[in-house]
Amino acid sequence: MTQYTMQDPRTQYPQPSFDKQVQEAPGLAKEMTPKPDHGEETYRGLGRLDGRKALITGADSGIGRAVAIAYAREGADIVMNYLEEESADAREVIRLLEAEGKKVTAIAGDLKDETFCKDLVNKSVDAMGGLDIIVSNAGKQTAVEDLTDLTTDQFDATFKTNVYAPFWIIREAIPHLPPGAAIIVTSSIQAYQPSPHLVDYAATKAAEKAMVQALGAQLIEKGIRINAVAPGPIWTPLQPSGGQLPESIPDFGKQVPIKRAGQPVEVAPVYVFLASQEASYVIGETYGVTGGNPTG
């Protein structure tokens, strides 16, 4: 089967309940049960990004990994960023991308560091001979039940990862991006329906959405499009490594109309569309991929 095989979406992927599981942050896909589907066996490309040059943050697992696989199979060369602690997952992605015959450059580092974000852009340009797609996907999400337990350090780290890093990367990249380039930011359903235990995370996702809207009109003056994707509950290492309260994991995703968590591969096609020339008239928008939860 591929993403084009008609199926009942309710039963297409595993449904709750999941096994109880907890990982240390940032978490690894290889340690999850069931394993997330990033499209390793199912995503079939059609050449929609032939010759393109993409920088993807958080590309070792989850949505970033699914996007990297999809982009490579659509014809793009990839620079993938991840944390050193995620190297085990990153090595699997590198093998998958190289198997597609595409150029892949792996750059580990912490996006909370402004200097690293600037270097990441410039190394990407050097590695690929240019840059015309940016996927700002890496994110920090840590559930905290009571606001009095939400530390300033966590609040700061969440904003640095989720808001400052995209700002630093996009600002550094603008002089390198040609007309026709595309930027995609990963926001969240939390920008519309914030959970009480994700105060800092929800605030950053709302900020990302607003930043994309503001930059949409500004960047199109340079011929650059920027949009966002707002996923709902997606089965990624972010969830069992602190993104959800441990007791929430077995029924993760059960609350949405489709009654299950989404898989990373189900989100990737939206990133392909937004990066491709097919989305030439889509500017400053946020696309929901939420299993039926409304974003308006």
How many domains is the chain partitioned into structurally?
A: 1
Count of CB atoms within 10 A of residue 105's CB? 17
Percent of the chain with pLDDT over 90: 82
The pLDDT of residue 74 is 97
Is 201 tagged catalytic? yes
For the chain, percent of residues with pLDDT exceeding 70: 100
Residue 208 near residue 201 (C-beta atoms within 8 A): no
Coarse DSSP helix, strand, coil percentages of the chain, rounded to the nearest 5 percent? 40, 15, 45
pLDDT of residue 220: 98
Residue-number span of the structural domain to which 259 is assigned: 49-287
Let me know if residue 296 belongs to a domain. Answer: no
Q: Is residue 219 part of a domain?
A: yes
Residue 73 DSSP SS3: helix
pLDDT, tens digit, 9 for 90 and up, residues 225-243: 999 999 999 999 888 887 8
Amino acid letter for position 144: V
In a domain, 54, yes or no: yes
pLDDT digits (tens, 9 = 90+) for 32-66: 888 888 989 999 999 999 999 999 999 999 999 99
CB 30 within 8 A of CB 89: yes
Question: What does 210-232 look like in DSSP terms, one character per residue?
Answer: HHHHHHHHHHGGGT-EEEEEEE-
**pLDDT reported for residue 290:** 97
How far from chain centre, in Å, is Cα 52?
18
Q: How confident is the model at residue 4 (pLDDT cuts 50, 70, 90)?
A: confident
pLDDT for position 212: 98
Q: Looking at residue 249, which CATH number applies to its domain? A: 3.40.50.720
Catalytic residue of the set 13, 43, 192, 201: 201
pTM: 0.94
